[in-house]
Structure 1
C-alpha cells in the first residue's frame, strides 16, 4: 500500500525544512512530508559555525553576493534579486529569531546557538502539520506522468510534487542520474591545506591578518587572514582558494605548491623597505625589530629560512641575505601534500548539472514537478554563511513555484 502526500521533500536539512515551512504557510490544506534518512534532521545546521549556525552573510547587493560562489555565480544572480540576505533576516525575525552581524560579516542568531535555528524549524513544521519521517532512506524515485512514486527503507509514497533537498548525497545523485539528470562528479570544496615545512612546524596558532596566496602555475589566487595550524594552513585565505580551486586541485590529487605573500608587498618594494630598515636600525638585532605586521614567531622562522642568524644585527647582513628575506616575506613557496576537512563542515562542488534546472523556479527541466533546493545542485560557496543563503533562496523560490502551480 502506498501513502499519498501532496508534497514530498527528500532531505531533512536546512533547505528541506525551509521549503516545507514556506510551502505549508502558502498552502495550509496540502499534506506535506519530509523524508529524512537519519534518526534526526538538521545535523549540518547543528554543527555550522562551531555550533552557533552561520545563518547568512551581511552582503545585501546581489551582484556582490554572487561573487562568493565558485559554482552558480551566474545562475544565482536572478534568484538573489527575488530572495536574499535581507529577506532571510526578516524571515527568521518574523518567527522570533533575531540575527546579529559579526565584524567579518557573518551572521548568527543572537543566542549564539544553532539550537535556536533548529527549534525554530521544528516549531514551524509542527505548527503547520508537516510530517517529519525519520529513518526513511530513499531507495527509488519513479516519475509517473503527473506524479511520483518514492520507495524508502520503510514505506512507499506517492506525491504530485517532489522537492530534492538532500545536499551532497551520492546515492540520491545516482537515483537522479538514472531518471535522466546529468550529475557533475563531486569533489571536496572547503578544506584546509596539509603542509609539512620547518618554517611553520612549531608555530601553530599564528595568524597573519592579510596574506595573499597563489597556487603556483595557475591563476588561482586569494587574500585574507591566514592561520598556521598543527598540520598546515587554514583560515579564509586558504578556504577561499580551496573553494575556487576545488576542481583543479582535485586533478592534482591535492599535491601542489603555493606562493605566500605574507606582507602584501611587491618583492622590490619589500626589498627597498628592508634596505631602509637596515640603515635606520643598523645596531639592532633583526629578530627584535620587525617593521612588518606579521607575528613575531613567524618573523623568526622567516629570518632563519633566509639563512640569517637570530643573533645578527641589521648591520651584519649582506645583500644576498636581504634578498632572501624579501623573498620569504613576499614569495615564500610551500609544498601542499594533502587536505583536511574544515572543522566538521563538509562542502562539495558537484551535483545536479545547472543546465538541468530552471533558475526562475528551481524546477527540473527534465522532469516536471520535480524541484531542487540547496547543495544537491552544482552550487557551492566559500565559508561565511553563503552556502546557507543558497539553501534559503533556492528553497524559497521552489516553494513559491510549487504554490503557483
Structure 2
C-alpha cells in the first residue's frame, strides 16, 4: 500500500508517523512544497510549542472551536488531549501544563517536538521529499495520481494536510470539493491612539472588550503593543468574529474595560479610596492595581493635574476617568497577524468528509486533516489538537 501525505507540517507528520507505526509494510511518503519542515510547530507558543491543552472533556474542548464545535465532539472522544500527552510521553517527550491549561514540552523548546517527529519519520522509513508542491490531483481507476512541481507519483491513498493553503484549496475545488469562504481568524487590532501610544508591553490581567454594534464581547488578559491591542481577549474576539469583522474591512469601534470589576463597582471602590485618602495626589496613586505608566497616561488624558489630590476632583473629572477605564472607546483601523501563527477560518466543508474517518465522502482514498478543513480554534493548543486527533483517526482508517 502506497500512502502519500501532502504537507510537511504538524498534521502531515503526525498522520504519516501513525500510519507507518501501525502499518510497517506500507510505503509512506511526505511531500513538502518548501525546503523547510514543521514551521508552524517551530514558532508555536513563541518557540516553546504549545502542543495541546490540559482540558480533556470533549464537551468542554469543543467550546474553543468557532468553526467545528459540536461536530468535533466524537473526534475528541476518539483521541483526546490526554491521549496526545501520552503519545508524546511514550516517544520521549515529557510535557507540563501551565496555570492557563496550555501544555508545553518540559524542555520549553519546540525543537524537542520537531526532533521527535523527524526521528520517528526516519525510524519508520518515511520518505520525505522537499520542494514538491502539489499542482494537480487525479483519480485514475483505483489509484490517485499526485502531480507535483517535480514529478507525478501514484498512490493508493492520499492525505491532504497542507494547512491554510490557497493553492491546495484551488486544486481541491477543481476536484469539486466544496468549501466555505476563507478569512483570517487569529489577529490583533491595529489602533493609533494617544491613550496607548508608546505603552507597548503593558498588560492587564483581565479586561473586557466589546465590539460596538455587535454581540461580540470577550474577557481575558489584554496587552498593549506597538500597533494597538493584543492578548487573549482580542484574539478570542478576532476568532469568533472572523467573518463579521472581515465584512467591516477591519474598521470598527471597541469598548474596553481595563478593570476586573464592573462600572458601578469601580465607582464605589474609587469613592471609598477617595474618602480614606482625600489628600493623596491622584497622579501618584494608581488604583485598581493598574500599571503606573498607564494610570499616569489616563489621568493626564482626562485633564487632571499631577498636583490635584483625590479630595479635590470634580464630579466631571471622576466621571471622565472612570469612563475611560471602564468604557474606553477606540477606533480599530486594521489587523496584524498574531506573531507568526497565522490561522484562517474557512476551508473544505466538514460535510465533505466523514468525521469518523476524515475520508472524502465522494472520493474514496482521499483524506483531509488540519486547517485545510473548515476547522479553527482559539489559541491554547486547540488548533494543534484538531490536527492530532484527525491524524490519529486517519491512521486508524487507512
Instruction: Give the corresponding residue for 2:290.
Output: 294
Shift of 1:391: 0.7
Please say if residues 180 and 366 of structure 1, whose CA atoms lie closer than 8 Å, have aligned partners that are also in contact: no
Distance in 2 between residues matched to 1:275 and 1:94, nearest whole Å: 58
C-alpha RMSD of the superposition:
1.3
Equivalent residue pairs, number: 398
SS of 1:208's partner is strand
Instruction: Give the corresponding residue for 2:138.
Output: 142
Distance in 2 between residues matched to 1:277 and 1:328, nearest whole Å: 18
Please say if residues 18 and 395 of structure 1, whose CA atoms lie closer than 8 Å, have aligned partners that are also in contact: yes
Instruction: Give the corresponding residue for 1:166.
Output: 162
Distance in 1 between residues matched to 2:270 and 2:110, nearest whole Å: 48
Please say if residues 57 and 105 of structure 1, whose CA atoms lie closer than 8 Å, have aligned partners that are also in contact: yes
Distance in 2 between residues matched to 1:183 and 1:356, nearest whole Å: 9
Please say if residues 70 and 381 of structure 1, whose CA atoms lie closer than 8 Å, have aligned partners that are also in contact: yes
Instruction: Give the corresponding residue for 1:131.
Output: 127
2:370 pairs with 1:379: no
Shift of 1:268: 2.5
Distance in 1 between residues matched to 2:65 and 2:123, nearest whole Å: 34
Which of 330, 343, 356 is residue 347 of structure 1 equivalent to? 343
Distance in 2 between residues matched to 1:9 and 1:269, nearest whole Å: 56
SS of 2:324's partner is helix
Shift of 1:331: 0.7
- Structure 1: runs of 5 or more not aligned: none
Which of 216, 237, 242 is residue 238 of structure 2 equivalent to? 242
Shift of 1:8: 0.9
Distance in 1 between residues matched to 2:141 and 2:366, nearest whole Å: 12
2:55 pairs with 1:78: no
2:180 pairs with 1:191: no
Distance in 2 between residues matched to 1:119 and 1:317, nearest whole Å: 61
CA distances 1:160-189 after superposition (whole Å, capped 9, x unpaired): 111110000001100100111112221111
1:237-386 correspondence to structure 2 within 5 Å: 237-386=233-382
Shift of 1:229: 0.9
TM-score w.r.t. the length of structure 2 is 0.97
Instruction: Give the corresponding residue for 1:97.
Output: 93
Instruction: Give the corresponding residue for 2:207.
Output: 211
Distance in 2 between residues matched to 1:323 and 1:40, nearest whole Å: 55
Please say if residues 264 and 330 of structure 1, whose CA atoms lie closer than 8 Å, have aligned partners that are also in contact: no
Shift of 1:196: 0.6
2:112 pairs with 1:116: yes
Distance in 1 between residues matched to 2:111 and 2:268, nearest whole Å: 53
SS of 1:107's partner is strand
Please say if residues 305 and 328 of structure 1, whose CA atoms lie closer than 8 Å, have aligned partners that are also in contact: no
Instruction: Give the corresponding residue for 1:399.
Output: 395
SS of 1:393's partner is helix
TM-score w.r.t. the length of structure 1 is 0.95
Worse-matched range after superposition: 148-157 or 275-284: 275-284
Instruction: Give the corresponding residue for 1:49.
Output: 45
Worse-matched range after superposition: 173-182 or 352-361: 352-361
SS of 1:379's partner is coil
Shift of 1:277: 2.3
